[in-house]
Chain A
Amino acid sequence: MRLVAESLTAPGRRNTRPGAPRRVPLAPRTWHVRRGDVVAIFGGNAVLILVMWVRHGGTMNLGGTGSLLTAIGQITALEGTYAALVQIVLMSRSPWLESTFGMRAIAQWHRWLGFSTVVLICAHVVFTTLGYAAGDRTDAGHEAWTLITTYPWMLMATAATALLVLIAVTSLRVARQHLRHETWHFIHLYTYLAIALSFGHQLAVGTDLSDDPVARGYWVALYAAVILSVLAFRVLAPIRLSLRHDLRVDRVVREAPGVVSVYISGRDLDELPVRAGQYFLWRFMTGDGWWHAHPFSLSAPPNPEWMRVTVRAVGEHTHSVRRLTPGTRVIVEGPYGVFTALRRTRPRVLLIAGGIGITPLRALLDEMPRGKGAVTLLYRARTWDDVIFRAELDELVREHGGTVHYIVGRRGVDVHPEPFAPRFIRQAVPDVQQRDVFVCGPPPMEESVQRSLENLGVPERQIHREHFAYL
Chain B
Amino acid sequence: MPIRGTIAVIATVIAIALMVSFKTPNVTNTHPANQPVAIGAPPPTDTPASGDTGSATATPNATSTPSATGYKDGTYDGQDVPNEFGDVQVRVVIKNGRISDVQALQLPSDRERSALISEQAGPLLHDEVIQAQSAQIDVIGGATFTSDSYAQSVQSALDKAHA
- A/B touching: CB–CB < 8 A: yes
Q: Which residues of A are at the interface with B, using a C-beta cutoff of 8 A?
A: 3, 149-156, 159, 180, 182-183, 185-186, 189-190, 192-193, 196-197, 199-200, 204, 257-258, 288, 291-292, 313-317, 319, 383-385
Segment at the A interface, from B34-42, B98-106, B130-138, B155-163: B34-42
Task: Closest A residue to B25 by CB, please name it.
Answer: A150
Contact of B53 among A149, A153, A155, A384 (CB under 8 A): A384
What 11 additional pairs, Cβ within 8 angstroms, besides A156-B33, A193-B12, A193-B36?
A: A150-B24, A155-B22, A182-B42, A189-B37, A193-B16, A197-B34, A204-B27, A291-B1, A291-B40, A292-B40, A319-B47
Q: State whether A152 and B19 are in contact (beta carbons under 8 Å apart), knowing that A186-B5, A186-B40 are contacts in the complex.
A: no
A3 — which chain B residues lie within 8 A by C-beta? 124
A182, B42: Cα distance in complex, Å: 5
Cross-chain pairs A/B with CB under 8 angstroms, 27 sampled: A156-B19, A156-B33, A159-B19, A182-B40, A182-B41, A182-B43, A183-B42, A186-B39, A186-B42, A189-B37, A192-B36, A193-B16, A196-B33, A196-B36, A196-B37, A197-B33, A197-B34, A200-B31, A288-B1, A291-B38, A291-B41, A292-B40, A313-B50, A316-B46, A317-B43, A383-B53, A384-B53
Whether A315 pairs with B46 at a CB distance below 8 angstroms is: yes
Q: Which residues of B are at the interface with A, using a C-beta cutoff of 8 A?
A: 1-2, 5, 8, 12, 15-16, 19-20, 22, 24-27, 29, 31, 33-34, 36-44, 46-47, 49-50, 53, 124
A151, B36: Cα distance in complex, Å: 23
Whether B42 pairs with A151 at a CB distance below 8 angstroms is: no
Whether B36 pairs with A152 at a CB distance below 8 angstroms is: no
Whether B29 pairs with A152 at a CB distance below 8 angstroms is: yes
A288, B26: Cα distance in complex, Å: 46
A150 — which chain B residues lie within 8 A by C-beta? 24-26
Whether B47 pairs with A316 at a CB distance below 8 angstroms is: yes
A448, B93: Cα distance in complex, Å: 53
CB distance from A149 to the nearest CB of B (A): 7
B26 — which chain A residues lie within 8 A by C-beta? 150, 152
CB distance from A150 to the nearest CB of B (A): 6
A232, B121: Cα distance in complex, Å: 52
A257, B33: Cα distance in complex, Å: 49
A182 — which chain B residues lie within 8 A by C-beta? 40-43
A183 — which chain B residues lie within 8 A by C-beta? 42
CB distance from B147 to the nearest CB of A (A): 27
Whether A258 pairs with B50 at a CB distance below 8 angstroms is: yes
CB distance from B28 to the nearest CB of A (A): 9
A156 — which chain B residues lie within 8 A by C-beta? 16, 19-20, 33
CB distance from A319 to the nearest CB of B (A): 7
A385 — which chain B residues lie within 8 A by C-beta? 53
Task: Closest B residue to A154 by CB, please name it.
Answer: B24
Q: State whether A193 and B47 are in contact (beta carbons under 8 Å apart), knowing that A150-B24, A152-B29, A155-B19 are contacts in the complex.
A: no
Task: Closest A residue to B18 by CB, please name it.
Answer: A155
A383 — which chain B residues lie within 8 A by C-beta? 53
A190 — which chain B residues lie within 8 A by C-beta? 12, 39
Task: Closest A residue to B8 by CB, please name it.
Answer: A186
A186, B43: Cα distance in complex, Å: 10
A288 — which chain B residues lie within 8 A by C-beta? 1-2, 43
Whether B50 pairs with A159 at a CB distance below 8 angstroms is: no
A257 — which chain B residues lie within 8 A by C-beta? 50
A151, B26: Cα distance in complex, Å: 8
A192 — which chain B residues lie within 8 A by C-beta? 36-37
CB distance from A89 to the nearest CB of B (A): 15
Task: Closest B residue to A152 by CB, please name it.
Answer: B27
A407, B33: Cα distance in complex, Å: 56
A186, B36: Cα distance in complex, Å: 13
A343, B163: Cα distance in complex, Å: 68
Task: Closest B residue to A204 by CB, please name it.
Answer: B27
A251, B12: Cα distance in complex, Å: 39
Contact of A196 among B25, B27, B34, B43 (CB under 8 A): B34
B5 — which chain A residues lie within 8 A by C-beta? 186
A384 — which chain B residues lie within 8 A by C-beta? 53
A258, B53: Cα distance in complex, Å: 11
